[in-house]
Amino acid sequence: MPTGPTILFAGGGSGGHIFPSIAVAQRVSELDSQAAIHFVVSNRSIDATIMSQHQYEWSPSPARPLPRTPLKVLGFYNAWKKARKQAGKIILDEQVKAVLCAGGFVSGAVAVEARKKRIPVILLNLDATPGIANRWLSKRVDHVYTVYKQEDWHHAEHIGLPLRRQAISPDDKAQARVDMGLDPTRRTLLVVGGSLSAKSINEMMLEMVHLASTQQVMRQWQILHISGNEDAQRMELAYRKANIQAKVLSFTHEMGLAWRCASAAISRSGAGSVAEVWHNAVPTIFMPYPYHKDQHQVHNAQPLVDAGAALLLTDHVDPVQNAHQIINPLTELMVNKVYRQNMVDWLTKTRPADGAEVIARALLRHLR
C-alpha cells in the first residue's frame, strides 16, 4: 500500500482521456512504489468500467461538458462549482503534490483548484487538434506535453502517446489468438470503435456481411469485433448467418492481445487508437468519428495516412454508403499480403517512443 504523497490524475468521459493517464500511473508505480495515485474521472458508466479493472483510488466528478445551447449554461455552471469543491477536498484530503490533466471537461475544475493551492499541474494534450479545455489549460499550467506538435505552443514538449501495458501486444501472435478464443492459424480482421464503440461502424459491418463480394473474402479470415454492449448480440447473429467465423466482444481490457491477433483492422482514430495501431504495427482503415466539429480524429490519423501506412475513409453514417465505399480498399488490404507487409514495416520502423515514463518522472520530481 503506497504511503507517500499523492499524484492526482484528471480526465474522463472516454477511454481516450483515461488510458494515457493509466499508462503514466503504471510507470509511476514502477518507478516509485510508495507514490499514491488518485484518479478523478467523469460520472459516465464507461469510466467506472475502466477504473474497476485497475487498483487505483478514483472519484467520479460532477463536471459536465461545455454546453452548446444557452439553456444548459446554468447546469454547466452549477456542475463546475461542485466539481471544483470536490477537487479541492481531494487535493487536501489526499495530500496531493502534483496533478496530471489529460484534457476534456473533467480536467478544468481540477486544474483550477490545484493552481489555487499552488500544486504543480502538467497538461497532456493527446489530439492533433487541441480541444477547448486544452487550449484554455495550456496557458494556465506549469508544463505541457503534446503528442502532436502544435505550431503556436512553443512552450510544449513533444512526446509519444503514453501506452498502458495492456495496450502493448505480446510477441506470440498465435498464442494471442488462442487467448482471445480465435483460430491461431487464421488471419484476423479486428473491428473496433474505441471505448464508446461505434454504432455506424457496426451498422456498416451488418450491411457488408450480406454482400457476396465481401462474404467471400471474410470467410477466408476470421473477425474479432469489439462492438459495444448494444450491438453485440446482433453482430454475433449476423456473422453466424453469413457463415463468417467471428468473435464478438462488447468490450475488452486487453487491447494489446486484440492488436496482436490482427492482420488488419478497421478503427476510429482517436489519439489512443492511432498510437496503439502505430505501436503494434497493424495495417488499418481509419473511419474518424463524424460528429466532432474540429474533425480532430482526421488529423490524428494523417501522419500514418500520408506515409501510406494506413487508409482514411469518411464515415458517412449511412451503412449502405459506408459499406460500398470500403469494399474495394478493405478487399485489397485483406488479399494483398505485400501491401499489408509494407504498412507493417513502416509502422515498425517509425513508431514513436512511449511517453509514459517521461511524464511519470516529471510528476515524481514534484514529490521530492
Residues 318 and 357 in one domain: no
Q: Which CATH number goes with the domain that contains 59?
A: 3.40.50.2000
Residues 209 and 344 in one domain: yes
What average pLDDT does this structure show over 52-66?
A: 94
Residues 204 and 136 in one domain: no
Q: What is the pLDDT of residues 133-162, one digit of tens each?
A: 899 999 999 999 999 988 888 889 999 999
Residues 148 and 199 in one domain: no
What average pLDDT does this structure show over 153-179?
A: 92
The full 3-state SS of 284-313, as one line of letters, equals EEECCCCCCCCCHHHHHHHHHHHCCCEEEC
Region for residue 135 given its phi and psi (left: phi exceeds 0; alpha: psi -120 to 50; beta: otherwise)? alpha
Q: Where does the pLDDT of residue 193 fall: very low under 50, low under 70, confident under 90, or very high at 90 and above?
A: confident
| The residue type at 240 | R
User: What residue has cell string 466482444?
Assistant: 249
Q: What is the pLDDT of residues 69-89, one digit of tens each?
A: 888 899 999 999 999 999 999
Residues 225 and 297 in one domain: yes
C-alpha cell, 320: 449502405
The answer, as to whether pTM is greater than 0.85, is yes
50 alpha-carbon distance from chain centroid? 12
How many residues does the structure list for the chain?
368
As a 3-state breakdown, the chain gives helix, strand, coil percent values, each rounded to 5, of: 45, 15, 40
Q: Where does the pLDDT of residue 263 fall: very low under 50, low under 70, confident under 90, or very high at 90 and above?
A: very high
**Cβ–Cβ under 8 Å, residues 189 and 264:** yes
Residues 247 and 303 in one domain: yes
Q: What is the pLDDT of residues 16-46, one digit of tens each?
A: 899 999 999 999 999 999 999 999 999 999 9
What average pLDDT does this structure show over 222-245?
A: 95
Average confidence score pLDDT of the chain: 94
What average pLDDT does this structure show over 6-23?
A: 94
What pLDDT score was predicted for residue 195?
57
- Domain hosting 248: range is 169-350
Whether the predicted pLDDT of 342 surpasses 90: yes
243 alpha-carbon distance from chain centroid? 31
Please, which residues have CB within 8 angstroms of residue 293's CB and are 6 or more apart in sequence? none
What pLDDT score was predicted for residue 194?
62
User: What residue has cell string 467471400?
Assistant: 216
Cα separation, 202 vs 198, in Å, equals 6
Classify residue 260: in a domain, yes or no: yes
Residues 224 and 268 in one domain: yes
Residues 252 and 292 in one domain: yes
Of the listed ranges 160-164, 194-198, 242-246, the least confidently predicted one is: 194-198
The number of domains in the chain is 2
273 alpha-carbon distance from chain centroid? 5
Q: Where does the pLDDT of residue 196 fall: very low under 50, low under 70, confident under 90, or very high at 90 and above?
A: low
* DSSP 8-state symbol, 98: E
